[in-house]
């Protein structure tokens, strides 16, 4: 690369970092730094022409409709209170295990991630319910926050993940195959996280002291304010255990109603997951069609749930759902436009080609190249949001890795796993900051609690790196 071009590229990157440090939104920081680079590199006429066409070209694609549809489906599912029902069901199934409420929170994160697609939304939704319950029954606040923050990252992996959709659109991989690739790694991650919770709860019982075996209706999943006193028929002992614990099989109307709520939430998630992934996997629906059907189904679920709340509350929920979905989708498309401008500048400067040539000239082993690229994701994920990292890095890294003979979807899953780490590592762990202030959670104790999950994430990455068939087997059945 010529020295003058290298200087322009370095200057553009410095400007990008300076704008981000100044608090400028990521979309504008990417667009401004890329535009300035284009003007210096190609002149005003060429740069103006590119800037006039790039925003339209980067967004006027039918395949991108899948993003707002998945976002809308997740928001509608949240308003339909599916997460609350799933948390209640998880508690009923797992309450007898050490750290049962923590395991229920992890279960709820994984289940809600199967309809949300947003890590931040999952963390905020589950955190509002589960942290209050864990604190009430004697759990360490740091431990509780760590479980929810780490569990929230599962939304990036378990379909319908928005970042997986973006990766597929960036690389030209099949959206359906890419989404299906996240299922087995997602299950493995849940198992590893669950074992970590069990081991920590067993070795250090003080983290989960006073764990009550039954979550009663008054305390269920945050639907109402957390009850401050137990029912008179079940007075609590000083250690937190109920001296007359409620019988989960007690055939009272209240208990049966709570059971129905939990199972109803599970059935709703199963239905949405079947429509989205089953439709794509069977070939009956395209990715765009399945996303639209999923959003429509979630709307019906909200309507059915809303009839019990009253007409006015239902109207408010629908209005808020579409407003929030529009806001999130606009944010995503803004980043997409900004990153397209910056990426166009990098391509015009020849950065991807020069980078690939330089790496190959070093004659490293292909595995080492992949490992170094994955390691690069950690510091990038600490300072940039996940979509920005993908939009900047993938156009450079994907051709290099696939050129070395690796499967593009396998590499994508590994990239997503490493980007997940950025959500829970300082200084800008988004999931941690989302939880800060929730029921007395501070940034410091949330980072302390989630630190235990960082090596667990790296263990999962190592497993997927060593056994790529765990990622590629399911997508291969779609790709034929």
**DSSP labels, 207-236:** GBTT--S---GGGGGGSSPPPSS--TTSPB
The domains of the chain are located at 64-222+251-326
User: Would the pLDDT of 446 be above 50?
Assistant: yes
Copy the structure tokens of residue 217. Answer: 């209706």
What pLDDT does 188 receive? 95
User: Would the pLDDT of 298 be above 80?
Assistant: yes
**DSSP labels, 394-428:** HHHHHHHHHHTT--HHHHHHHHHHHHHHHTTSSS-
Residues 6+ positions from 226 with CB-CB distance below 8 Å? 132, 133, 136, 219
Confidence of residue 243 (pLDDT cuts 50, 70, 90): very low
Confidence of residue 232 (pLDDT cuts 50, 70, 90): very low
Q: Which residue has the higher pLDDT, 320 or 378?
A: 320
pLDDT digits (tens, 9 = 90+) for 183-210: 999 999 999 999 999 999 988 888 887 5
User: Would the pLDDT of 478 be above 80?
Assistant: no
Q: What are phi and psi of 370, to 5 degrees?
A: -65, -45
pTM of the model as a whole: 0.77
431 burial via Cβ count (<10 Å: 0-12, 13-18, 19+) = buried
What pLDDT does 428 receive? 67
Range name among 211-220, 303-312, 356-365 with the lowest pLDDT average:
211-220
What pLDDT does 463 receive? 95
pLDDT digits (tens, 9 = 90+) for 84-106: 778 877 777 787 888 888 898 89
Residue 235: how many other CB atoms lie within 10 Å: 11
User: Would the pLDDT of 118 be above 80?
Assistant: no
């Amino acid at each position: 690369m010529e020295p003058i071009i290298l200087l322009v590229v370095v200057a553009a990157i410095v400007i990008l970092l300076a704008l981000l440090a100044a608090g400028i939104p990521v979309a504008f920081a990417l667009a401004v730094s890329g535009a300035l680079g284009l003007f210096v590199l190609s002149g005003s006429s060429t740069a103006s022409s590119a800037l006039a066409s790039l925003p339209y070209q980067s967004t006027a694609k039918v395949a991108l409709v899948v993003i707002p549809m998945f976002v809308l489906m997740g928001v509608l599912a949240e308003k339909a209170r599916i997460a609350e029902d799933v948390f209640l069901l998880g508690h009923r199934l797992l309450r007898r295990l050490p750290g049962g409420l923590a395991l229920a929170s992890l279960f709820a994160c994984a289940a809600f991630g199967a309809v949300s697609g947003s890590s931040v939304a999952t963390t905020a939704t589950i955190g509002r319910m589960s942290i209050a319950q864990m604190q009430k029954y004697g759990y360490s606040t740091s431990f509780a926050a760590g479980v929810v923050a780490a569990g929230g990252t599962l939304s990036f992996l378990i379909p319908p993940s928005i970042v997986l959709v973006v990766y597929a659109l960036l690389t030209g991989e099949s959206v359906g195959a890419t989404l299906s690739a996240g299922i087995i790694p997602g299950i493995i991650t849940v198992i590893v996280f669950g074992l970590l919770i069990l081991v920590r709860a067993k070795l250090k019982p003080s983290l989960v002291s006073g764990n009550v075996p039954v979550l009663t209706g008054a305390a269920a999943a945050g639907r109402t304010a957390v009850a401050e006193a137990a029912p008179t028929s079940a007075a609590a002992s000083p250690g937190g255990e109920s001296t007359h614990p409620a019988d989960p099989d007690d055939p009272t109307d209240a208990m049966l109603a709570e059971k129905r709520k939990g199972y109803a939430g599970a059935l709703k998630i199963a239905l949405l997951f079947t429509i989205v992934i089953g439709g794509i996997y069977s070939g009956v629906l395209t990715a765009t069609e399945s996303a639209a059907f999923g959003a429509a189904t979630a709307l019906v679920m909200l309507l059915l749930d809303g009839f019990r709340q009253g007409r006015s509350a239902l109207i408010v929920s629908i209005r808020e759902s579409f407003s929030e979905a529009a806001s999130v989708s606009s944010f995503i498309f803004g980043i997409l436009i900004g990153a397209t401008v910056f990426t166009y500048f990098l391509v015009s400067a020849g950065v991807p080609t020069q980078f690939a040539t330089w790496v190959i000239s070093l004659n490293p082993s292909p595995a080492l190249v992949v490992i170094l690229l994955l390691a690069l994701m950690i510091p990038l994920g600490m300072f940039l949001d996940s979509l920005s990292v993908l939009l900047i890095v993938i156009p450079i890294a994907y051709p290099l890795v696939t050129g070395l003979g690796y499967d593009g979807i396998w590499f994508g899953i590994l990239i997503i796993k490493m980007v997940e780490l950025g959500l829970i590592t300082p200084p800008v762990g988004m999931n941690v900051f989302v939880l800060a202030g929730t029921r007395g959670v501070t940034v410091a104790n949330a980072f302390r609690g989630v630190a235990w999950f960082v090596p667990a994430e790296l263990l999962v990455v190592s497993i997927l790196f060593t056994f790529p068939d765990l990622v590629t087997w399911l997508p291969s059945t779609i790709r034929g």
